Amino acid sequence: MRTEPFPDLDCPTVTEPASEHSPQSAQAPTGATLRRGPFREGDRVQLTDPRGRMHTISLEAGKQFHTHRGHIRHDDLIGAPDGTVVTHSSGSDYLALRPLLSDYVLSMPRGAQVVYPKDAGQIVTMADIFPGARVVEAGVGSGALSLSLLRAVGDGGRLYSFERREDFAAIAQANGRVFFGADHPAWQVTVGDLVESLPATVEAGSIDRVVLDMLAPWDCLEVVYDALTPGGVLICYVATATQLSRVAEATRDHGGYTEPQAWESMVRGWHLEGLAVRPEHRMHGHTGFLLTVRRLAPDTEAPARKRRPASGAYGADYTPHEDEWTPEDVGERTRTDKRIRRVRRDVDRQAQSAPRDASAE
Ligand SMILES: C[S@@+](CC[C@H](N)C(=O)[O-])C[C@H]1O[C@@H](n2cnc3c(N)ncnc32)[C@H](O)[C@@H]1O
């Protein structure tokens, strides 16, 4: 085992932990102070009942959380430590915890379908999103992925998010405000189509990473190439194999990117009880596929592939699509405008009553 510090690294070998009163903690990253300490008014709290069912509430002094068997007083939770067990008026015990980011994105108001936490984790790691990075994201949808990206780039980074629907962008921003307790200083949301808006928003060659979660990422390859710094990573998240195939071929045809890499991830929960230790019976069988490429240096061609495509891969059955796709073509569920207006009202109300991160003001 290596015990010596690495001699060639220009960094201190001992790092003083930040005490609660040190200048480091006075400038806690945006939203960090809301993630610890006793429950406060306005906090979202996840209650788990004796049967394992979860209920998310926002704490308000004097209010009660009602079930068909009775109630829990919010006042019993305000001021209590995270991880408290609170007694329901029926005598049952409920566990109270502050939701994690992964809990929050699954319970927050939605306009569009969200990126699931398992995929957000893959995106942050495999696209190498680092603190201080300048990242472009489109579309924003409900803002689920934006929250993970903002955490990864931190206050010193930059997340340029693009969404062509004004109502979705507003829902995403309100979700961000509730989660971080403030407008995140690294986040700039532009309402507009990425192809038109990106060149006007960022300087050519200045972007480290691009994340596309949209129906037709192949339409954006040219503007993304211009925005990315050489060596920069593009990651695409698509729902169907037909989209995956089209974006892979489009990156090859473009010529300015490395050979695409694609994968999917499956997460299978396990049941843990005494000797009954086995996979859960139910799982999310499919969420989406991920594909990454890197931008080549200017005037550079990718080296010829050593392995030729299988004969027939581009045969008579191979028909590159020229037509425009709709969300229905790939089986996306679309929500009515009336439902979106209701989601937007709910999330605005939540954002107004959510606790503020005073350190961000
Ligand atoms: C599946 S949603 C994104 C979900 C989001 N990543 C999340 O985690 O909440 C896809 C979004 O992309 C937007 N979109 C599609 N094409 C776009 C484009 N060319 N420019 C900007 N937004 C686009 C759609 O309006 C839609 O809201």
Residue 315 lies in a domain: no
Within this chain, do residues 132 and 39 fall inside the same structural domain, yes or no?
no
- Answer whether the bond into residue 139 is a cis peptide, omega within 30°: yes
Within this chain, do residues 243 and 289 fall inside the same structural domain, yes or no?
yes
Distance (angstroms) between ligand 1 centre and the Cα of 194 equals 10
Domain that holds residue 62: 32-99
Task: Kindly tell me the sign of the dihedral angle through the C-alpha atoms of 191, 193, 199, 203.
Answer: positive
Residue 329 lies in a domain: no
Write down which residue in 44, 73, 99 finishes a domain.
99
Structure confidence by residue, pLDDT tens digits, 339-353: 888 888 888 888 888
Residue 19 lies in a domain: no
- Ligand 1 neighbours, Cβ below 6 Å, are 112-115, 138-139, 141-145, 162-165, 168, 193-195, 213-215
Residue 141 lies in a domain: yes
Residue 2 lies in a domain: no
Q: Is 70 helix (H, G, I), strand (E, B) or coil?
A: strand
Residue 255 lies in a domain: yes
What are φ and ψ of residue 14, in 5° steps? Answer: -120, 130
Write down which residue in 41, 71, 99 finishes a domain.
99
* Nearest partner of 287 among 255, 331, 231, 329, judged by Cα: 331
Angle between helical axes of 144-153 and 117-126 (0-180°, round to 10)? 40
Within this chain, do residues 147 and 76 fall inside the same structural domain, yes or no?
no
Residue owning the nearest CA to atom 13 of ligand 1: 139
Count CB atoms within 10 A of the CB of residue 330: 14
Within this chain, do residues 86 and 152 fall inside the same structural domain, yes or no?
no
* Nearest partner of 97 among 57, 130, 64, judged by Cα: 57
Distance (angstroms) between ligand 1 centre and the Cα of 48 equals 33
Rounded-to-integer distance, Cα 52 and Cα 331, Å: 32
Rounded-to-integer distance, Cα 260 and Cα 207, Å: 19
Structure confidence by residue, pLDDT tens digits, 97-140: 999 999 999 989 888 889 999 999 999 999 999 999 999 999 99
Q: How many residues does the chain have?
A: 361
Burial of 183 (0-12, 13-18, 19+ CB in 10 A): middle
Rounded-to-integer distance, Cα 265 and Cα 217, Å: 20
**What atom in ligand 1 is closest to the CA of residue 112?**
2
Residue owning the nearest CA to atom 3 of ligand 1: 141
Within this chain, do residues 136 and 242 fall inside the same structural domain, yes or no?
yes
Give the CATH number of the domain where residue 133 resides: 3.40.50.150
Low-confidence ranges of the chain (pLDDT < 70): 1-26, 319-322, 361
Distance (angstroms) between ligand 1 centre and the Cα of 67 equals 37
Predicted TM-score (pTM) of the model is 0.87
Asked whether 204 and 227 are in contact (CB, 8 A), the reply is yes
Within this chain, do residues 145 and 58 fall inside the same structural domain, yes or no?
no
Within this chain, do residues 192 and 43 fall inside the same structural domain, yes or no?
no
Residue 336 lies in a domain: no
Alpha carbon of residue 77 to chain centroid: 29
Within this chain, do residues 158 and 178 fall inside the same structural domain, yes or no?
yes
Token pair in block for residue 357: 């991160």
Within this chain, do residues 91 and 153 fall inside the same structural domain, yes or no?
no
Residue 205 lies in a domain: yes
Burial of 134 (0-12, 13-18, 19+ CB in 10 A): buried
Asked whether 228 and 204 are in contact (CB, 8 A), the reply is no
Within this chain, do residues 143 and 228 fall inside the same structural domain, yes or no?
yes
Asked whether 296 and 257 are in contact (CB, 8 A), the reply is yes
Write down which residue in 285, 300, 315 finishes a domain.
300
**What atom in ligand 1 is closest to the CA of residue 192?**
21
Task: Return the best residue to mutate from 148, 151, 163 for the ligand 1 pocket (most ligand atoms within 8 A of CB).
Answer: 163
* Nearest partner of 156 among 134, 135, 132, 180, judged by Cα: 132
Give the CATH number of the domain where residue 85 resides: 3.10.330.20
Number of domains in the chain: 2
